[in-house]
Structure 1
């Protein structure tokens, strides 16, 4: 029976029980001269090598050292079995660009629908981020994905960066502006439409929609034609109906007539008395301005200073005609009544055509005074035609004094 070899045998004996121990005499000397912890590790490694070389199946003596040696040898000699891993197959690829529908982005969007159901369920419980606006983006690099996914990242072939974009569509601001121009020019002539200007600086560059656009409508919210106008955009898209209120500033560039000199009431305006001035009109209320062509040949109803922009109420074609027309006996019987057998001269008139007068209306104890302009001249007691300056309507009154007319038959 062979004697079992032990590394603690004194080397001076010069005899080794192991058949192949002799060739490793120098290795044994190295082991015996090493520190205690390193010496035990080297003894274990040396014993494993010797046991494999000898082909022994079991130790002859079950000493502690022999048991450790044989266990190590058996571990080395035993065929290795594959260790379980987190991946049971090939890695699932992840696309670098992903399109999503909603605002919440979970990790299930990283894998295709053909991925295992349990993996998709586990990824769906992990939130990667939020994209609040359509067409918004969420950018994640590989390190961010590994931190969010944890152990599940080992099942995926992650790219260096993933761009996630929320689905949506854009409505061009130019399409909206074209509709606004059509609405604002309705009912205008070509010359008036050419004077129209629309300030669209308050409009956004584009309108973001949750899905592809199907159609849109534009409805005005205000009835004014000039100034600040509000419109409602109703867009029908795949993601539903979207409504938004927009505002624009509408104005008109008018070539208005402006006086170049001091003009008296009753004067006929000529082209030499006027000049064109470009005026921006932002309101359609009040008395409109007169254009240059409209003011030439009209008569002033009151005094106007140089630089005044003429309006429709400042001139009257009827006043000019009345001032230039001769007075007939039938139109002014009081003024032509016999006086010492002769018709009175115009010098006897206390009111002349074009004069501004005070028109009185007496009703019981109530007296009303209205500013008016005389279209005819006459003496005291004559009935003349007047122009009510408040509503530009003609009235008839009886002259009672200089610059005073009372109510007559109208």
Structure 2
């Protein structure tokens, strides 16, 4: 291999020396040496790793000289976006006698303009993939996508694919493609969210009540997953019937709504509970859903946050009844509404 390179270099030098002879006669006029007709550039841009001498010649170079210099290697830039500075002494050493016919600057800066896939192109392709309909409510977080990707060769084609069917939340994408220097593949991570308008209750609402516009206010919320129990859209919640107690400040979810088959039953239960609240007689302790002295869970729902505290009932009652509790942690009295067996929810006044 080394002998082949030496042989190739000798052939190149032979061609160059032939050119040297012609140039020497042309440059000598009336016994005075004219300025050398050929020169190297002070800077050059290459597209491959190997730097040959012909790449540094100016445009007026002789065709034979270019051919001869094309087989003389001056250096290598392995980095696709790298740079190499070659001194005059190094160039002369590589050219040998051929250096006599070329004007060589003190240094030559060579930059490699390698093949890259621009970050902007990657970002545009990802956004189009994650939001094909260009919906303004969809947001794609590209903070973890690289700026540029260095390719093994000139790009032929490339594509974006997804690992999984989820459209919201963290998405793992595969960027793959082919170049004239081989194929490439890289994993990318993005976060996709969707901004929606949900309904937030303005007051305590009881089971069987039909939601009206006066009961709720719209609020923007960013959804970062595709859970089945994500909040119901504000536009879809009006006219729906609640299946359980919901306190003020709570968002309404599908699990909070009564299905068509049980709406009438929920309404009947609510009517019965409402009547019971106005009765003056006291029920026997054994008939209460929550009995005095019983340990219960005190639930505070605020938006998406749900806090549960241990408490003790100081009064008895059934679903919908407002009772007084004792906070086990700080020994303070609190008020709440019974929503289930052993569960009392905070009722905002």
Shift of 1:211: 4.2
Q: What SS does structure 2 have at the residue aligned with 1:114?
A: helix
Residue of structure 1 equivalent to 2:109 = 163
- Deviation string for 1:306-329 (max 9, x for gaps)? 211211111114343334479xxx
Matches within 5 A, 1:250-289: 250-289=192-231
Residue of structure 2 equivalent to 1:115 = 65
Residue of structure 2 equivalent to 1:77 = none
Residue of structure 1 equivalent to 2:83 = 137
Q: What SS does structure 1 have at the residue aligned with 2:265?
A: helix
Aligned mates of 2:86, 2:68 — CA distance in 1: 24
- Deviation string for 1:11-53 (max 9, x for gaps)? xxxxxxxxxxxxxxxxxxxxxxxxxxxxxxxxxxxxxxxxxxx
More strand, by proportion: 2
Shift of 1:107: 5.5
- Deviation string for 1:327-361 (max 9, x for gaps)? xxxxxxxxxxxxxxxxxxxxxxx99xxxxxxxxxx
1:307 aligns with 2:249: yes
Residue 181 to residue 128, structure 1, CA distance change in 2 (3 Å): closer
Matches within 5 A, 1:371-382: none
Shift of 1:294: 1.6
Shift of 1:196: 1.2
Residue of structure 2 equivalent to 1:320 = 263
1:201 aligns with 2:148: no
CA contact (8 A) 1:171 1:208 kept: yes
Matches within 5 A, 1:94-109: 94-105=40-51, 109=55
Q: What SS does structure 1 have at the residue aligned with 2:127?
A: helix
Aligned mates of 2:118, 2:218 — CA distance in 1: 39
Shift of 1:197: 0.9
Shift of 1:210: 4.5
Residue 173 to residue 101, structure 1, CA distance change in 2 (3 Å): closer
Matches within 5 A, 1:9-408: 89-90=23-24, 92-105=38-51, 109-110=55-56, 114-115=64-65, 123-124=72-73, 128-133=75-80, 135-140=81-86, 142=88, 145=91, 153-185=99-131, 193-318=135-260, 319-324=262-267
Residue of structure 2 equivalent to 1:15 = none
Aligned mates of 2:156, 2:70 — CA distance in 1: 33
Aligned mates of 1:278, 1:119 — CA distance in 2: 68
TM-score (norm 2): 0.55
Shift of 1:286: 4.5
Shift of 1:120: 6.6
Shift of 1:207: 3.5
- Deviation string for 1:47-72 (max 9, x for gaps)? xxxxxxxxxxxxxxxxxxxxxxxxxx
Aligned mates of 1:197, 1:98 — CA distance in 2: 43
CA contact (8 A) 2:169 2:224 kept: yes
- Deviation string for 1:56-114 (max 9, x for gaps)? xxxxxxxxxxxxxxxxxxxxxxxxxxxxxxx7555553234434343354657546883
Structure 2: runs of 5+ lacking an equivalent? 1-19, 25-35, 270-286, 289-340, 342-349
Aligned pair count? 235
Residue of structure 2 equivalent to 1:29 = none
CA contact (8 A) 1:107 1:128 kept: no
Shift of 1:148: 7.6
Q: What SS does structure 2 have at the residue aligned with 1:229?
A: strand
Q: What SS does structure 1 have at the residue aligned with 2:214?
A: helix
Larger relative contact order (Cα-Cα within 8 Å, sequence gap ≥ 6): 2
TM-score (norm 1): 0.48
Residue 142 to residue 305, structure 1, CA distance change in 2 (3 Å): farther
Aligned mates of 1:116, 1:296 — CA distance in 2: 81
